[in-house]
A = this chain, B = another copy of it.
Amino acid sequence: MIRVQREDFDPGQEIAALTRGRTDIGGVTSFIGLVRDMAGGDKIMSMTLEHYPGMTEQQLKAIEAEAKQRWPLDAVLIVHRYGELKPGDRIVLVVTASSHRDAAFDACRFLIDWLKTKAPFWKLEETSAGPRWVEAKDSDDQAAERWTKS
């Protein structure tokens, strides 16, 4: 399941909803991405996430389908926010459930790595040095790249 929304989310409720009534799930891995207060030595006042409505959902669904095909997953959830966020705010939640904890961990990491390089979001930071668009990181490309080797 994927969701793209302006509103905040409650990780505990999301995880609970995903596993409610299920007694066949052995492990749930989750990742929460948060807005940091510093970037490149400058203080961040706020961050605005722009996205490509329609394409975002399509890409996230494709990434979810890819993960389900690669690993034995009982459930997957991706929630990604857009709009203006403050330091400490939640940006993204990825949850994977599996009877195998290695699968849950690998799939969760794959999903966050891939969405960082494929989901059409762009971050505009309001910093103490003025506004600026966050640049894509080589390290994110490399992180995504490792999933294409196997």
Residues of A within 8 A of B (CB): 10-16, 19, 21-38, 87-88, 99, 101-102, 104-105, 108-109, 112, 143
The minimal Cβ–Cβ distance linking A112 to chain B, given in whole angstroms, is: 7
Q: B21, B23, B28, B105: which contacts A32 (Cβ < 8 A)?
A: B28
Can you add 13 more A-B contacts, CB < 8 Å, to A23-B34, A29-B31, A31-B101? A11-B15, A12-B12, A12-B14, A15-B32, A23-B88, A26-B36, A27-B31, A27-B33, A29-B30, A30-B30, A33-B101, A105-B108, A105-B109
Q: B88, B105, B143: which contacts A22 (Cβ < 8 A)?
A: B88
By a CB distance below 8 angstroms, the chain B residues around A16 are 11-12
Q: B14, B36, B109: which contacts A23 (Cβ < 8 A)?
A: B36
By a CB distance below 8 angstroms, the chain B residues around A29 are 29-31, 108
Complex-state Cα separation, A25 to B109, whole angstroms? 17
By a CB distance below 8 angstroms, the chain B residues around A22 are 88
Complex-state Cα separation, A26 to B37, whole angstroms? 9
The minimal Cβ–Cβ distance linking A79 to chain B, given in whole angstroms, is: 13
The minimal Cβ–Cβ distance linking A110 to chain B, given in whole angstroms, is: 11
In the assembled complex, 21 residue pairs joining A and B whose CB atoms fall closer than 8 Å, in A order, are A10-B12, A11-B11, A12-B12, A12-B13, A12-B14, A12-B15, A23-B87, A24-B36, A24-B38, A25-B34, A26-B36, A28-B32, A28-B34, A29-B29, A29-B30, A29-B31, A30-B31, A30-B32, A31-B105, A33-B101, A105-B105
